[in-house]
Structures are given as C-alpha cells and as structure tokens.
Structure 1
Amino acid sequence: MSRQALHDGWTLRAAPGAQVPAEIAGRAVPATVPGCVHTDLLDAGLIPDPYLDDNELALAWIGRTAWTYRTTFTHTPGDADRIDLVCAGLDTAATLTLNGMPVGRTENMHRGYRFDVRSLLRDGDNDLTVSFDSAYRYAEAQRDRLGDRPNAYPEPFQFIRKMACNFGWDWGPTLVSAGIWQDIGLHAWSTARLASVRPLVTVDGRDGRVELHVEVERVADVPLTVRATVAGVSADVVVPAGQRTAVLTLAVREPALWWPRGYGEQARHLLEVTLHAPDGDTLDGWSRQVGFRSVRLDTTPDEHGTPFALSVNDVPVFVRGVNWIPDDVFPTRITRDRLAGRFDQAAEANVNLLRVWGGGRYESEDFYDLADERGLLVQQDFLFACAAYPEEEPFGGEVAAEAAEQVIRLAAHPSLVLWTGNNENIWGWHDWDWQEPLAGCTWGRGYYLDVLPRIVGELDPTRPYWPGSPWSGTETIHPNDPAHGTTHIWDVWNTDDYTKYREYVPRFVAEFGYQGPPAYATLRRALSDEPLAPDSPGMAHHQKATGGDAKLQRGLDAHLPAPADFDDWHYLTQLNQARAIQLGVEHFRSHRGVCAGTIVWQLNDCWPVTSWSAVDGDGRRKPLWYALRHAYADRLLTVQPRDGGLAVVAVNDGGTPWRASASVTRVTLAGEPRAKTTMELDVPAYSAVTLALPAELARPDEARRELLVAEAGESAERALWFFAEDRDVDWPAAAWDATVEPFDGGQRVRVTARSVLRDLTLFPDRLDASASVDQALVTLLPGESATFTVRADGLVDEAALVARPVLRCVNDLG
C-alpha cells in the first residue's frame, strides 16, 4: 500500500470564452492545492484583496466563471491491484479527466470521492485535469429544472451542495469560489483496504465499551483479519471471504473518562485498527484518539414544557455556548494554529460548547481534535440553513451520502455531542411565508424528520439528534416556542429593545445576538474611508444586515448618550452590543433549572465586518468578548428584577458548593451609601439561588444618581444595577489619575477614579495594531482603581494610552 500526494505543479485557467479580465483570459496561473480560485488569483497579484473596501463587488465574475485545474505528475507502475484517485474535497461541480480520459464527476463539496484509475495511468508523465463548472450556473440550472423555492437571500445556494455562506450572508461577503479545497492523491493497494472504521464509544457505569464497525473494500476473495487495541485491551475478528463488514467489541475496565472543560480531565485513549491478509501481512491501518464518555439529552415534558438539557457522564451541563461560522471564506487559510487561537479565546471566555452552524461546513479534523483536546463540546448542524431545500435527485442521494460520510468520519470524537438537522428551516416553513410559494413542493422536511435521524440512528446511536434549530420536539407545537426544546430569539435585534430578553424564560436558547462594529485597527486595515463614519462607503459595505445601522441606532437611542463623533459611535455601539448580550445571558442563567443553556450568536467572523461576533474578522476581541467572559463565569452574581422588586441571583456552575458572605449596597454616584444588607450565599454545585432584596435597596431615592453594588466572596464577584438608563443618569464629568508602567512584553495602566467611571475600556489597538488588553468594561466608584495589562510588539505612547479615544468611559462624552 502506498500513497502519492498530488499537490504540486498545478495551474489554473479560466474556461475559454469566459467573460474575465483581459489579464486573466487564456492565462495559466500557478495554483496552490489545496486551495481555491480566489486565493490563487490573489497570490498571483491578479485581483485585489476581496476583504478590503468594496473589492468584493468587482470580483463577482469569479463565481460565474468555469475554471480548470491541471497538473502533470510522474507515475511508475507497480504491482498494486488497485490505484485510486482520492479526492477529499472538491468545490463543487467538477469533471475529472486523466490523460484525456474521463475519470468521474462530482457535485458535492461536503463529501469525498474515490475513483479507480489504474487502467488510465501510464508509465512516466500523466496529465490530470479537474474542470469546475460555475457554481452559479450549476445551481441556477437545478433551480430552473426543479422550480424555485424560498430562501433568506436572493441567491441559489440551496440548489448546490456547497458552503451556503459562500453566496453571502448578513455577516459575510458574496465570494463564490471553486477549487481543490482538500487533499488529492493516488492510493495504491492490493487485496483489501479499510473503507470505513466507525467506533461507537460508550460508558456503562464506570466501564468503557468500544463497538467497532469496520467495512472493507476488497479485490481478493480471501478471509481477512481486523485487529483493534485501545487502553491495553485488544480484540480481533475474521472477515470471511466474500464479506465486507465486521463488528468487534472492546471492553475497558474503569477507563479514565473524557469530560467537558470545567467538569474534569479530557482523557483520551489511542484506538488502533489494522487489517491483515491471510498470511498475517498488514494491509491497512487506522488510528484515532477516543474518549470514554456518555451523552444524554433530556426532553421529558415537565411542568414548564419540554426541556432540552444535556448531560455528560450523567452530570447535567448548563451549556455556555457560542455559534461558530467558518473562520474564513476560504477554508484553506484556516490553519490549526488559527483554530487553536480561536478555541483559546472561546475557553478564556468560559465557553463550553461550539455550535457549528448549518450554513458553513462540516468542520475539519483539526477543529474536532482541538475540541477533544480542550474539552469544548460541539454541536454540529447538518448543512441546511435559512432556505427551502429540494429533496429531488440529485440532492436526495447526495444528502444521504454526505450525511453518512460525515457521521462516520466524526464518530470517534468525544467532543461531538449533538447532531442538528438544520438551521431555521422548519421555523421558516412556519413563519416566513414559504407555504404559498412552495405550493406543495419539497422543502427539506424529509431530510430533517426522516433521512437524517435514520442515518444518525443507524450509524451513531451514541449521540442525540435534534431535527432543527429551533425545534420544539414535535410538529404539533410551533418550532420556536420558548417553552419547548430550543428557541432562537431574534425580535430583540430586529424590532425590540434588548431588555425584552427578560420577557423570555426559555428552555434553551440556541441563537440570540446583537451587533457591534469590529475593532478600530481592523477597520483601519480593511477600509480606506477618510474620514471613517458610520455611513461612510466602506463602513456601509461592511454592514451586511438589512437595516443594520438603523437597528444599531435604535439601540443607542434607547440606552446611551448621543455620540458626538465616530469615535463615540464606535465605542458606544461596541458597548451596547456587550450590554445586550450580558443582560440576556445573565437573565437566562438566573433561571437555571428551567433554562438549560444559551448559545450566543456568534463567536467569530470570516472577514472584517460589523456583526454579532465577539471576536472580529482579524481575530481581535471586541468588548462583547469581555462581557461574555464575565457573564459565562463559573460563579456569577447578578441583580435581576423579580416580582416587582429586585433580587440577587448567585449562579454556581462549578463542581463544589459556593459559600460566601455577600453585601448589597445602594450608593450614590459619588460612592456614598444609602442602604445596605448582607446575606449568606450557600449555592450547591450546578445550581442557582435567588435572594430577594429588601424594598429599601430596590427603591432608590434618586434614580438618576444611584446604583446598587452587590459583592460576594474573597474574589469579590461584583454585580451592578443602575436605576436609570445611561442617557438619563446625572453623570459627573469623568475624572481619573493614571500611571503607565512598562514590563517585558507590554505596559500596565493603572487608573484610579476620582469620579464614577462607567464601563471604562482601553482600546490600545488604536495605537498599535498588535496591542491587546486583558480586561474591559470596568466600572469604578470614586477612589477605586483598576489595572489594565496591555501587550504589544513594542511600547506604545504613554500619554496617548491614557487619553481619549484610547481610554474611554460612558461619562466622558459631551
């Protein structure tokens, strides 16, 4: 058995007669494989960066062009029975030829292909060509053949099995690419090979079990032996001549378990599988790190409706999640190191679950391996989003093949705890005026309620499947009913103030979000606008949400003082985004016991854009990230409205009881106490306690000049409650003293308040694009201090570091 990568010597050429720029017509462009058309043209200097300004618009022709990749490779004949051309991923509608002879056709980005090419190979040089149809032309032809169906955007993305957000989204550019986006190569083998290995890893009490399902492809009708080893336990089974499948079981006594982050260690065990010929020779091998853990989803109806509660190893896990979109429009630019950095940002924000959204891709092996390693749970959507999807051929067969391949591929990963059938499509059928234009046509229901649950049930019954996000658990209840299953809350962003989150006590919130612009350094890299303004051309182009700027303004008008300039607008819109999500998360967590999880939309971006992300397209943390870190902390102290008054809620998502003395003080903006109470917190592990506040604390003498300060424990967890909106508060002029002290790797900025400082935040990236800061959104009462640690490639100007617009607070406006 041998493998030969075919990643070298490729060129890219537009199809003859295509309407392309003159400098590209007829030109053979060096191509990187794996890669795509856009990155190859960019590397060759033939197109501008599509992420900058409005360059995206000038590159729309790429997606409407057919492209051909070609390489020549050397082959030396051997004695292998079979030689396969293995394509791990082609994007998307491609025809392959080898030495001028047809090899095969592909029409799905989300699955791999294998073609027997032994008879087509010749000694010496061989010519391989992969010709890609325009994704638009393919999708539009399918749409015309099957009849149009509704979707959220005027693009035909549901008529091709391709990453939907390539066609643009309300946070993403329209950059429809093509290319050999995953490995391609030759695989020479004889007798038999391992076609698939599917480990079903479970826990029974303290003992582990691996039920190993193996499928072989064979060219010789002889008995074969499969051997497997894990955690010191071995087993083998004979695959008789003429048969292609085998099952063997490995029982492991009391293995170290795999736990989500925050619940225990992420113990993994090497599972090795080998295939042997009758003479004992090893024909093929497969290995993965597996984790012993159980997953259970509780959806048993109760007095509140239908729960959606996840347990791992029989321990309930309150999901503190974020939604994940592709981290770049062009997947081959997403390295393992880049993913590791993003996972670090998630973990440092106290996130324990990533939901891989259905308009992107089935994520990479690196993604899942890192999640396994770091204990981040993963919910993987099947790839359907915001549209009515046809179920006719070729799509029905492609979806079934794609789903089976991906369920088998990901079965070994302990981090994967949930499959979801689609994003918002069942909801769309109910509420988005789809039924009349569909007029009885297929729209995806058969996938979500039949095909996909059957495939998951047959191939991986160890994991739960949920038909959609949102989904109530039954067709007899509206799919987005907050009392049943999972819900998406989007009226807050689209039409209502973010305080409306408090009107919901949902069982599980799988999407909710609020927009804010990216970091200033990110904007300056991506936009040439002079001056920057909320509505300057580049800013407008990098706001993809319908009415997005008006919705941002509505949020500002409801809560904050009017911005005087772009710097104010940038700070305040970022702040409002952070405030909105912090309010929502703290409210939902305060109802622990009814609500079992929140998944914020969204962690990341794929390019520089105003969006709902906590980390922007250049990887910089927005203020929302810091708010999320606080709101998702294992121990959360929060003040919440309850029964016409106020209450302190202490939430404990740690594994040990939280016992502490707490104080709640009503103070003036000058820090003068007006009323105070103390209470003892005794919060069991994985629970919340609500303590009502006396009326003298909950009712201010002067709403515009007072706040509540709640503090608990030696680490001084703090919660604040303001009785008036910032726009209405009688803020004193901001006054502080600041010192800057350099250290190896950065500078420490110590700020001491002489007046109240509301949501004090440092933006060092305004001075140095490499700079970052350890905390943000710090409110100080007079006399209190905070230290900000700034890290950068070099020292930044000290005076500028402690002056507007780098150091900001709400009451420095005006």
Structure 2
Amino acid sequence: MIKVSHHSTVNEEKAVLSDWKFRQTEGEEWLPAKVPGCVHTDLLKNNLISDPFYGENELDLQWIDKKDWEYEASFDVPAELLNKNQIEIVFDGLDTYAEVFLNDEHLLSADNMFRSWKANVKPFVKEKGNVLRIHFKSPIQTDLEKLEKQGYNFPAVNDHSEDGGVGDKNLSVFARKAPYHYGWDWGPRFVTSGIWKDVHLRGWSEARIEDLSILQKNVTASEANLTALVEIEAEEEGERELRIQTEEIELIQTVQLKRGMNEVSLDMKVQDPKLWWSRGLGDQNMYEFIAEIRKDGSLVAGKTTRTGLRSIKVIREKDDEGKTFYIELNGVPVFAKGANHIPNDSFVTEVTLERYRHEIQSVVESNMNMLRIWGGGIYEYDAFYELCNEYGILVWQDFMFACSMYPGDEAFLKNVKAEAIENVKRLRNHPSIALWCGNNEIDTAWSAYDEDGGWGWKQQYSKPIQDEIWQAYEDVFHTILPEAVENHMPGVYYWPSSPMSDWTGDSRQHTSNTSTSGDIHYWDVWHGLKPFEEYNHHVGRFMSEYGFQSFPELKTVESYAGEGDMALDSKVMLHHQKNGRGNYLIKEYMETYLPEPKDFPSFLYMSHVLQAEGIKTAIEAHRRKKPYCMGTLYWQMNDCWPVASWSSMDYYGRWKALQYYVKRSFRDITLSIDGTNRTKIDIHIISDILSDMNGSIRMSLSTFDGTLLREWNESFALKSNSATKFVTLETEEVIENRDPNNIVFKAELELEGEIIDAKYHYFTSVKNLSLCKPNLKIEEVSTSSGKHYTLETNTLAKQVYVTSDLEGIFTDNYFDLIPGEQKRIEFLTRSKDQGFTKGIAEGIKVHSMSDFIKE
C-alpha cells in the first residue's frame, strides 16, 4: 500500500499519493518510481540508464520516448476523507498523453502538460486496496499520427528530430508540452513522460472555495479599488454568507449559491495601501486575503491568498522618435534590467526550492529587477513566482509557444484556450507579473505582411497552406490568448509576440534591428558575426533578447567530459554545444578581442571574459539611451544542463564572469564609459533611483605599475530616474602621446563621501595591452561583522579571478586591480534554506588574465 500524506482544511480533506511504481507497458517488471518525476529520472534512479548529461549519452536514450509507460499506485483512503460527500482525484500535472484508470474504471484522458485534470471518484473509491493506473502513450508515436493526418510539416527550427530518430518530422508543435523537451540550440532532446506534479484525493461536503483572486482595478498611493473574485463549488443551492477580510478590513455579503460552480465578486477598498514595488524602488509589501463561507454562523469553507497591491502598465505612446515601450509601476517609469529565464533543468521535477531561491537571489545580487519567462519552457511552479514577489522581481510572462507555427484544428484550439485560462487564473494574484506575451519570435519568423520577409518559413508552402497556417496563428495569438488575459487578468498588458514593432495587421507589425517601436531581439552580434561595437548602434525601445556564448567553468565541464575530451573539437565538446558553429564562433571572436589562451582550461576562462565584455557593451549602451530605451534583458540567465551556452550562470548555479559584470553594469546608480569612438571618451551617469542627487566624478590616469600621471575631479547634479552624458574627453588630450598599451583611465563616482561605482577604460584592445604577471596578494580579515578578503597587486592585474573549493559566490570577481588600490570582497555560501549567507571561503586561489595567456 502506498503512503498517503493527509492534510485537512476547513471542511475539506486532502490526501497526496506519494509512493508509486512504473514499468514499460510491454510487460516489463514493475520498478519503484518517484512522483513527481518522469520516466527518464525513474530509469536513472533504478540504474537502468547512464547519466543523461554525460558525454554523448543523450543520443543513446532516444528510445525512451518511443515507448508507452505505466505508473501505478495502490492506496487506502482515510476515513475522514472517505466520509465526505464529494471525493475527486486531482492531477496537478500529467506529461502529456495519458489514460487514467481507478479500480479498472476509466476516469479521464489527458493531453496537455500545462493543465490540471480532475475526476469524480466517489462512485469508484473504496476504503482499502484502491489501484490507480496511468498509461502514458508515447508522445512521438501519438504525434506521428497527427503529422500524417496534417499532411505537411510545420516549421520548428529547434526540434532536434534527427537526434530523436524521426528524420525531418517536426512533432513538437502537436503536443502541448514544453517545447524545449524536443531540443533547442542550448539544450538536449529528452521528450519526457510522467507525473510531473502532485496527485491527490480531495474530499469535501456542502461547499468548497475553488479559487480566490484579487483583481486590482485601480491602485494609487491613497486608495486601492479591488474586486475579490471567489469561485465556490456548492452541493446544493441556498443562501450563504461570504466574508472577505484583510488586515483591518472585513466585508460581509449574503450570496445565493446554485448547485455546482459559482462565481461571486465583492468590491472592496483599501485606504492608503502599502504598495508592492520592484527591487530598488521600494518595499515588497504583501497583503493576505481570507475568504470564508458561513451557513447559520458556522464556517463551511475557507481559502487564503496573498498578493501585493500595485498599479502596473505597459506604456505605448507616440513620441518624436516612434512609440514608447516601457513598464510603469505605481506611476513610475521602470527601466527593466534583467535576463531571459529558461527551465532550470531538462527534467523539471529535479528543480528544488533551493535552486529557485539561488537563481532569484542571484538576480537580486546582480541588481536586476526583471526576468522574462521564455515561451519554449514551462509556466513555472508557484514557488518561482512567490520568490519573485518576495524579492521584487518583475516577470515578463510568455505563453508556451516558441519558434514554430502551430496547427489550427478545433481540438488544438480548444486545448490551448483551456490551458491559457487556467494558467492566467493560476498566476493572476502574483504582483510580479508585469505583462503576458503570446509567443517567442513567431511574428518576425513568419512575417505574414512582408512577402520576402521572415526566416524563409512561409516561402516553403503554397498560398492556400500559408493562409491556413497564418489563420491558425491569428486564432491563437490574436484571439484566444488576448481574450484569456482580458477576461481573467483585466488591466494587465498583452503583447502578441516578442519581438514585434506594433500590433497593426500590416507590414508595420514586424520588427527589425532599427525599429523605433515595440521590442527587439538583436542577434547580429553572434549569429550575424558583427563586432561587439555594433551593440552601440542598434538600440531599440526595449531590448528583450541579445546574447553571447561562453563555456561553463572547468569544474562543470569535468562533470560531462573526461580528460581526453578537453578539446574544442572533441565529440563530447561539440555535443555539448547545440548551436552549430558555436565553439568556433567563440574562438573567432576571442581572436579579435583577447590574447591567445595557453591551453583548454585557459580557453574556458577567456570565454567567460569574452562573453562578459560583449554583454557589458550591450547593457551599458542600452542604459545610456534611457528613456528612449527602457529595458534590457540579455539571453540567458540559466541552463537546463551543463553546456556551452549564452547563460550567465551555469547548470550548477556557478556564476560566470558575465554574472559579476552584470552586477556592476546594472547598479541602480552607475557610471558608463563609452569609448566606441577611439578619439574620445564619453562618460555617462545613470540613475534608476527616485531622488535627485549631487556628487562628483574623480578621474585619473595611471600606468600599469601604479604611477599616477594625472588626477582631477568634477561635480555633477543628476535628476532622478534619468541618464545623462556627464562629460566628453578627447583621447589625445587625456593620454598626451603616452603608450596606450600601458596606461589605464579610471572614473569613480562619489556620493556623500562614498565611492559607489568605479569604471576603467583602456585605450587599445585587451589583446594589445602590455600585461605583466602580477604579484597578487590576498589577506583574510576578521572583523566584528565576520570575515572578508582584501587583495593588492604590484602591477595591473587584469580580470582577477578568485575561486573557492566551497560552492558560493564572491561579492565581486573578474575585476581589474591597479597598484595602490586595495580591493575588498566577501564570500557568500549557498545555504539550503536561506540562500546566500556570509561565509568563509576554503581553498582560495587567485589568478589574473596573465596566468592564462600563451607565452
């Protein structure tokens, strides 16, 4: 018999089914299974397959998705639950094609990973010896039939069908499951099946509250006008009392319930609300709302929810240069600083609360305020959004469609509609949700209103099929999804596709790298082989994607490759690079910008520096153009397996150089030095805080051995929430015919006697700098507040890289150090329950770029 985790709320009993077994349907023996989980992870836990992430093992595991699988649980029902009038079984997530049987009675058929499923089991359940069986049909075999019926292939450029042994057949578009399961240009192909969220029995009598949502109609600092939306399921009709309360407010209303599902709304006002703010702008205040149903004074049912009160809008207004695209929070224009988020694992049930907390705390440590939940993954678990609420991280939420065209048959559209409504309703109480977006890159890929535009997709089809495919697109992204948002999360902005210039229904809809409206994905750097300097010349209103790759650090590479694989062109290294020529692109860019690394571990280090320098160029170009540009979200924050990719933090949560660079470039008040034009230096000051400031900039010129050549100060006044060019310096006047390969310019921003930012500028490419091997010293210092580390050098130490044997991060890393300066850093360990905590590093090693250069 399985263990049943038993929970009780007001007049409602819940039992979670937690012990399972599974087998391949073709008569194989039963084996223990972990639920939530999937077939791949269960096979691994039973030692029946090798580590999917090691070497080229991925290719040997493609047989799994061609088979049918069964999961089974036997259980007893607690008396308290069995005695309830209503008993149903609820599946929070089934992946994906499933037939469910209880005691040999067919309960339901499931066909959408992103939906929950439930069935009445009162007639079938018994006190002892119940057997629940779930038959998972192969998603590949199921969708091969759909493709044959369709008669033609849909575009799906990231569907690694050849790796999956199905030739050129793009099957991902037919299944409502995570698109990245079929492969991507940073991820493997593991098309999973299994029970990916909890299964539980739910028993109740008389009535229960299915949902409590707080719709925010108008929120200001003086008053919040809200509507509490309560979904009540009742056994019988009758008059009941509905109570809603939060803090000092309690509202009571008599409601007439009918049998079945009821939707009751109750308007309420909160005076002088404590507003929810994104990180950097204010506190993340949250309110708890309690709904209760009473009959004759007795409590019948109750439910609690938490939300933050805020006004959030996407402002799109015509101006002299086009049309704005920015988020306004509580009346304040917000410059969005952040990254794109993908699922943290190829097997999403392996993601723990600690891993989520590590990611979100890394976001906070990096001075970000937004993540884009990209449309090729999953609608994240509730815990992810709760952490975003807690830490003040805004969420750009895609629906789960990416880089593909989709069918438009009635069953598919009906399924999508149910999925959209359920997920909008599930997420609508989270104050972090800033906007919903229909899909990733499909509008621009198809470019319906530009005959020669797009990615060459539509040109593959006859005109009637083009029209059929585009009609399906419009049904989903211009009708079903916006209606789901408007009807169930009114007031929150819907944007059909990212990137897009405008929603016009003509050629003005599609974006380009020069669009002055909408959002832009700029990929000419990397995919287009353009130099980093091009980031300065292609700045749109909201930069929602751009990126550059690096390898993970050596410790991570050693988790998937052996000593004989440590070469750029080894089979394993090429397999853990899903972007075609990616490894060689890194090498080509490195040859342009950096010295030649002495060996493969040095190449890994140099790839970190290269990526960080490129994305720093982009981020600061975007921030300098505020308020024309009001958002910069680089690709990508994280990884789903250990791999060479665009991430700033690898699969194990280890920070690359980029994450440290981002932390510096995203400071709420920062300096930015633009030296794109070698004949001059533009120094900019950028502020995202909501108060004016006065301060000074200290500028200096030094040789690499620390000799101070000149130093001067200039004061400034800066308006709140703005960016300005502080000064332009002529390069020749600054360096005065000195050797540009041996001098460094430094600018420090001082406010109220404190240096809050410092930036360095070199007058030639890093590969040309006259770097000597420094004598780096690090000292551990104990104070009343704990330990920290100070570093000093005798000559310029470029890209100082500090490591520890313990998992964690330093408060700064990959920084430059000049003689006469003392750098102070702290070590933050990863704590399972608390995230980052101040700690003591063990096995510290200190390197600089000169240690990795080929002599």
CA contact (8 A) 1:658 1:682 kept: yes
Q: 1:190 aligns with which of 196, 200, 205?
A: 205
Q: 1:178 aligns with which of 187, 193, 197?
A: 193
Match of 1:493 in 2: 526
Q: How does 1:232-271 map to 2 (within 5 A)?
A: 232-242=248-258, 244-271=262-289
Seq. identity, %:
30
How far residue 339 of structure 1 moved from its aligned partner, in angstroms, is 1.0
How far residue 347 of structure 1 moved from its aligned partner, in angstroms, is 0.2
Q: Partners in 2 of 1:710 and 1:796 — Cα distance?
A: 33
Q: Match of 2:235, as an amino acid? A: V
Which SS does the other structure have where 1:118 is aligned? coil
CA contact (8 A) 1:322 1:355 kept: yes
Aligned residues: 796
Q: Match of 1:82, as an amino acid? A: Q
Which SS does the other structure have where 1:584 is aligned? helix
In structure 2, the CA distance between the partners of 1:488 and 1:698, relative to structure 1 (3 Å rule), is: farther
Q: Partners in 2 of 1:785 and 1:197 — Cα distance?
A: 55
Matched, 1:632 2:663: no
Match of 1:648 in 2: 683
Matched, 1:112 2:123: no
- Cα deviation, 1:25-53, whole Å, max 9, x if unaligned, reads 61211111122112211222222221222
Task: Report which stretch shifted further, 659-668 or 582-591.
Answer: 659-668
Q: How does 1:309-320 map to 2 (within 5 A)?
A: 309-320=326-337
Q: 2:373 aligns with which of 339, 356, 361?
A: 356
How far residue 543 of structure 1 moved from its aligned partner, in angstroms, is 1.1
Q: How does 1:393-792 map to 2 (within 5 A)?
A: 393-430=410-447, 431-438=454-461, 439-443=466-470, 444-475=473-504, 476=506, 477-481=508-512, 482-495=515-528, 496-530=530-564, 532-641=566-675, 645-672=680-707, 677-695=712-730, 696-697=732-733, 701=737, 702-713=739-750, 714-715=754-755, 717-729=757-769, 731-741=770-780, 750-764=790-804, 768=805, 770=807, 772-789=809-826
Q: 1:11 aligns with which of 21, 40, 43?
A: 21
Which SS does the other structure have where 2:42 is aligned? helix
Matched, 1:152 2:152: no
Match of 1:385 in 2: 402
Match of 1:228 in 2: 244
In structure 2, the CA distance between the partners of 1:488 and 1:691, relative to structure 1 (3 Å rule), is: same
Task: Report which stretch shifted further, 233-242 or 604-613.
Answer: 233-242
How far residue 64 of structure 1 moved from its aligned partner, in angstroms, is 1.6
Match of 2:5 in 1: none
- Cα deviation, 1:167-197, whole Å, max 9, x if unaligned, reads 1111111111111111111112233332333
Q: Partners in 1 of 2:59 and 2:279 — Cα distance?
A: 42
How far residue 639 of structure 1 moved from its aligned partner, in angstroms, is 1.2
Q: Match of 1:264, as an amino acid? A: G
In structure 2, the CA distance between the partners of 1:757 and 1:273, relative to structure 1 (3 Å rule), is: same
CA contact (8 A) 2:602 2:852 kept: no
CA contact (8 A) 2:598 2:853 kept: no
Matched, 1:203 2:203: no
Q: Partners in 2 of 1:699 and 1:462 — Cα distance?
A: 55
How far residue 795 of structure 1 moved from its aligned partner, in angstroms, is 6.9
Q: Give me the CA root mean square deviation.
A: 2.4
How far residue 752 of structure 1 moved from its aligned partner, in angstroms, is 2.5
TM-score (norm 2): 0.89
Which SS does the other structure have where 2:777 is aligned? strand
Match of 1:273 in 2: 291
In structure 2, the CA distance between the partners of 1:810 and 1:206, relative to structure 1 (3 Å rule), is: farther
CA contact (8 A) 1:588 1:595 kept: yes
CA contact (8 A) 1:263 1:655 kept: yes
Match of 1:20 in 2: none
In structure 2, the CA distance between the partners of 1:271 and 1:796, relative to structure 1 (3 Å rule), is: closer
CA contact (8 A) 1:7 1:34 kept: no
Match of 1:72 in 2: 74
In structure 2, the CA distance between the partners of 1:435 and 1:168, relative to structure 1 (3 Å rule), is: same
Task: Report which stretch shifted further, 359-368 or 520-529.
Answer: 520-529
CA contact (8 A) 1:403 1:452 kept: yes
Q: Partners in 2 of 1:8 and 1:219 — Cα distance?
A: 29
How far residue 550 of structure 1 moved from its aligned partner, in angstroms, is 1.6
Matched, 1:165 2:180: yes
How far residue 810 of structure 1 moved from its aligned partner, in angstroms, is 7.6
In structure 2, the CA distance between the partners of 1:691 and 1:123, relative to structure 1 (3 Å rule), is: closer
How far residue 634 of structure 1 moved from its aligned partner, in angstroms, is 0.8
- Cα deviation, 1:604-646, whole Å, max 9, x if unaligned, reads 1111111111111011111111000000001110111588733
Q: How does 1:277-292 map to 2 (within 5 A)?
A: 278-292=295-309
How far residue 470 of structure 1 moved from its aligned partner, in angstroms, is 0.8
Which SS does the other structure have where 1:630 is aligned? helix
Q: Partners in 1 of 2:609 and 2:842 — Cα distance?
A: 24
Which SS does the other structure have where 1:494 is aligned? coil
Matched, 1:128 2:132: yes
Matched, 1:142 2:146: yes
CA contact (8 A) 2:748 2:755 kept: no
TM-score (norm 1): 0.93
Q: Partners in 2 of 1:609 and 1:512 — Cα distance?
A: 18
CA contact (8 A) 2:12 2:208 kept: no
